[in-house]
Chain A
Amino acid sequence: MNDIYLDICGHKLSVCSEDEGFIAELKDKYRNFISKLEGDINILVAHKPFKDEDSDIVVQKEAKGYVITGNEIEARVDDSLGKIKLKIPANAGTFDCFLRIFYSLLLLEDDAFLIHAAGLAKAGRGVLFTGPSESGKTTTVSRAEGLDILSDELVAIKEDDGQFYLFSTPFHGEYRGDVACKCVPLQKIYFLTKKVVEQKPLKILEVFVGLLENTFFFYRNKQADKKILELCHKLSKKVDAYHMNILAERSVGRLFNEV
């Protein structure tokens, strides 16, 4: 067996597979998140032939845990979210797809969630740039000279004692460079738009709905949604948010001077 230890958003994982090439691919993909310590979340990966299936992802709760299926993924996750049996083709892309969905479940257990957003940091302060596909997340990252890149696609937001923190993730969009594996206090939120924007803080309702619409979550469950609603509501009251048209910004560095 070959393995890799990862540390993502404060959770340590051990991933084990018989396929040496697969583990080597993971070591490259997750190079900024490799840990020397064995994880308390164990993912045992078995492989199956690639069939080029493009089916919807479904997350279902069963008596002893969760079952995640679709898009070449067959996973059984125990109730503690600590033991996972995963069957996928031997490619890092499918594993990454599974890991994003697994993390959307895992993070909710500790008052955190994933959101479609680019995350940037400087001097221990984090700024979130959220929006759907094609809104400019990767463009934002490409204009982040001198800033730490947390992701150009999905970042994690966690509440701790009334404060909100931004965690980097290895879940990228088109960006292929390195990311800083870190957690920083969240200071400001920008909603990416291609329209002309006014530089005034958004109302709580706009922020709340904007956050909700960009959360990354596949498990269709009322209790889980209630928790996401609660977190987004607290966040929308706590952190100032604005619209931003990235095409009108040469550099996003100036935004940090205003934080």
Chain B
Amino acid sequence: MKFENMLIGRSDQAAWQEVEENVVVVNSNTRKVHILSGIGGRIWQILEHPRQQTDIVNVIMQEYDVAREQAENDVDSFLQELAQKEIIKIKDE
């Protein structure tokens, strides 16, 4: 899935709870439970308001002090995972 120039947000069917350093997300359609830790939990927090992938990458580069290429790879692979779990929504800006 390509996220370029798309607006990415949390799915309307995702319920979540922050637990210690993690975010636990339930997909209300499937009732599956997903645990997001570390950078994954932080990306979930960033998605409180729909964002473009580049905005997320910029925040991760800044906060985790990583090079752009690594941040882009990490964010892309995490967003792919969230999309597969159907807990984010993606739309054209």
Is A209 a contact partner of B28 (Cβ separation < 8 A)?
A: no
One of A11-19, A114-122, A212-220 at the interface: A212-220
Could you tell me the distance between the alpha carbons of A244 and B53 in the complex, rounded to whole angstroms?
Answer: 44
The smallest C-beta distance from A113 to any residue of chain B, in angstroms, reads: 13
Q: How large is the interface on B (under 10, 10 to 19, 20 to 34, 35 or more residues)?
A: 10 to 19
Contact partner, B33, options A203, A213, A221, A226, Cβ 8 Å: A213
Question: Does A254 touch B at the CB level, under 8 Å?
Answer: no
Instruction: Please indicate the chain B residues that have their CB under 8 angstroms from the CB of A228 in the complex.
Output: 26
Question: Does A208 touch B at the CB level, under 8 Å?
Answer: yes
The smallest C-beta distance from A12 to any residue of chain B, in angstroms, reads: 30
Number of interface residues of A (CB under 8 A): 21
Question: 1/0 per residue A240-252: CB within 8 Å of B?
Answer: 0000000000000
Instruction: Please indicate the chain B residues that have their CB under 8 angstroms from the CB of A232 in the complex.
Output: 17
Contact partner, A209, options B12, B31, B33, Cβ 8 Å: B33
Instruction: Please indicate the chain A residues that have their CB under 8 angstroms from the CB of B29 in the complex.
Output: 220
Is B20 a contact partner of A204 (Cβ separation < 8 A)?
A: yes
Is A222 a contact partner of B15 (Cβ separation < 8 A)?
A: yes
Contact partner, A225, options B22, B28, B35, Cβ 8 Å: B28
Question: Does A238 touch B at the CB level, under 8 Å?
Answer: no
Question: Does A230 touch B at the CB level, under 8 Å?
Answer: yes
Question: Does A41 touch B at the CB level, under 8 Å?
Answer: no
Is A222 a contact partner of B12 (Cβ separation < 8 A)?
A: yes
Instruction: Please indicate the chain B residues that have their CB under 8 angstroms from the CB of A125 in the complex.
Output: none
Is B24 a contact partner of A222 (Cβ separation < 8 A)?
A: no
Is A230 a contact partner of B20 (Cβ separation < 8 A)?
A: no
Question: Does B46 touch A at the CB level, under 8 Å?
Answer: no
Contact partner, B17, options A208, A213, A221, A223, Cβ 8 Å: A208
Is A229 a contact partner of B12 (Cβ separation < 8 A)?
A: no
Instruction: Please indicate the chain A residues that have their CB under 8 angstroms from the CB of B13 in the complex.
Output: 220, 222
